[in-house]
């Protein structure tokens, strides 16, 4: 019964089923493993049981495995997996800053180059989104894959039966950003002046929309820079219900680093309490924006879009100016250069 539940939960991911093992675990290459969370207690009934993961690793890779836990939402005692466990905490369904992607690659490279028999085991919760993001970064770092598209395809084919590995558009975008970092070196940190958000969607004709703009601030997580609500009369918003278009304008709104835009509507629950319903979100890194506009042409380009949004949605951000970063420091250019220097 538990086996059926585990198979159901691991869905289309390829499992390791040999010699009495049945785990949500896949060899992406001979030395790179992705797996689902090694869980204990009730969670172990429907995910990989931690004791089975420990037994597998000891049986196949004794003293030659290192585990990287990418979950920010849960943890376990590293000793239960032999002690050689490192954590790079990332939030579920979100991006990793480029510095964390580089950190992962450095840890992987150092470990794998120590001994031909060493393997690297990466997991998040499902071992698909966040793990895929980091493993794709490493496939590029080691030139095993020549392009972001090839890396994403390679991971998806190895890890899943339906070719759906990293599916969140912002995570895919960050694999592209990482490739750019490897090819061209770190870019100068820039601040962008956000001049306008233009939003065309079915929801505009019937609902008020709130946009929460937040910025990644290292380990403190994501801090809101600005919340814009079309309900507030003070904000500069123009709406055409017929054209289903909403335009929000700003004069002095500067954004920098890894920035998240989350679009929401205010809804009322059955018990008459107000709550924010998320419509979709996306991430960008300001240094990677080259033109004066960033455009999302359809629902498929947005992260975790709500069922309430129709396919033909369009969102654009217009930037009024750019300047070298002066007020905030997200990742240290010097350190990035040193790390990349050693790589090249
Ligand atoms: O792709 P989906 O919709 O199956 O979402 C995965 C989630 O499945 P769910 O939606 O809860 O059934 C999945 O959750 P569960 O394992 O199903 O609890 C994870 O959150 C996974 O992210 P990651 O691989 O841990 O980074 C999620 O993967 P991403 O969507 O973040 O790629």
Is 57 a pocket residue for ligand 1 (Cβ < 6 Å)? no
Does the structure's ipTM exceed the value 0.95? no
* Other beta carbons less than 10 A from residue 223's beta carbon: 9
How many angstroms separate the alpha carbon of residue 33 from the centre of ligand 1? Answer: 18
**DSSP string across 197-249:** EEEE-GGGGT---EEEEEEE-GGG-EEEEEEEETT-TTS-EEEETTTTEEEEE
E strand or H helix at 4, and its extent?
A: helix 2-10
How many angstroms separate the alpha carbon of residue 217 from the centre of ligand 1? Answer: 24
Nearest of 67, 55, 77 to residue 118 by alpha carbon: 67
Of 59, 71, 105, 124, the active-site residue reads: 124
State the pLDDT at residue 336: 63
Q: Which two tokens stand for residue 115?
A: 């001994």
Is 125 a pocket residue for ligand 1 (Cβ < 6 Å)? yes
Residue 22: exposure state from Cβ atoms within 10 A (0-12, 13-18, ≥19): middle
Question: Which residues does 262 contact at the CB level (< 8 Å), separation at least 6?
Answer: 211, 212, 214, 278, 280, 281
Is 10 a pocket residue for ligand 1 (Cβ < 6 Å)? no
Active site residue 124: yes
State the pLDDT at residue 235: 61
**Which stretches of the chain score pLDDT less than 70?**
1, 218-220, 231-235, 326-344
**Which ranges constitute the DSSP H helices of 148-193?**
148-159, 169-184
CA-nearest residue for atom 1, ligand 1, is 167
State the pLDDT at residue 330: 47
Is 92 a pocket residue for ligand 1 (Cβ < 6 Å)? yes
Is 134 a pocket residue for ligand 1 (Cβ < 6 Å)? no
**What ligand 1 atom has the least distance to the C-alpha of 92?**
26
């Amino acid at each position: 019964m538990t086996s059926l539940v585990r198979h159901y939960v691991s869905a289309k991911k390829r499992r390791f089923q040999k010699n009495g093992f049945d785990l949500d675990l896949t060899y992406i290459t001979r030395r790179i493993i992705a797996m689902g969370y090694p869980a204990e207690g009730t969670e172990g009934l429907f995910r990989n049981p931690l004791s089975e993961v420990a037994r597998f690793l000891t049986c196949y890779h004794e003293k030659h495995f290192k585990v990287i836990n990418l979950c920010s939402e849960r943890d376990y005692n590293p000793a239960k997996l032999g002690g050689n466990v490192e954590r790079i905490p990332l939030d579920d369904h979100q991006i990793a800053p480029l510095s964390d992607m580089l950190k992962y690659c450095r840890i992987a490279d150092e470990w794998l180059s120590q001994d031909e028999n060493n393997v690297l085991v990466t997991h998040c919760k499902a071992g698909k989104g966040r793990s895929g993001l980091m493993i794709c970064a490493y496939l590029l770092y080691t030139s095993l894959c020549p392009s972001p598209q090839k890396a994403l395809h390679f991971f998806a084919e190895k890890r899943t039966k339906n070719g759906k590995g990293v599916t969140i558009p912002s995570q895919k975008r960050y694999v592209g950003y990482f490739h750019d970092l490897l090819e061209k070196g770190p870019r100068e940190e820039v601040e962008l002046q956000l001049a306008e958000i233009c939003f065309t969607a079915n929801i505009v004709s019937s609902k008020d929309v709130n946009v929460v703009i937040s910025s990644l601030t290292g380990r403190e997580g994501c801090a809101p820079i600005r919340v814009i609500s079309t309900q507030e009369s003070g904000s500069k918003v123009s709406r055409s219900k017929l054209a289903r278009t909403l335009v929000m304008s700003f004069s002095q709104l500067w954004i920098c680093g890894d920035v998240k835009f989350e679009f929401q509507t205010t809804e009322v629950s059955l018990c008459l309490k107000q709550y924010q319903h998320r419509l979709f979100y996306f991430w960008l890194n300001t240094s990677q924006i080259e033109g004066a506009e960033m455009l999302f042409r359809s629902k498929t380009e947005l992260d975790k879009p709500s069922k309430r949004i129709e396919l033909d949605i369009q969102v654009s951000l217009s930037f009024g100016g750019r300047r070298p970063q002066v007020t905030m420091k997200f990742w240290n250019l010097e350190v990035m250069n040193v790390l990349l220097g050693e790589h090249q």
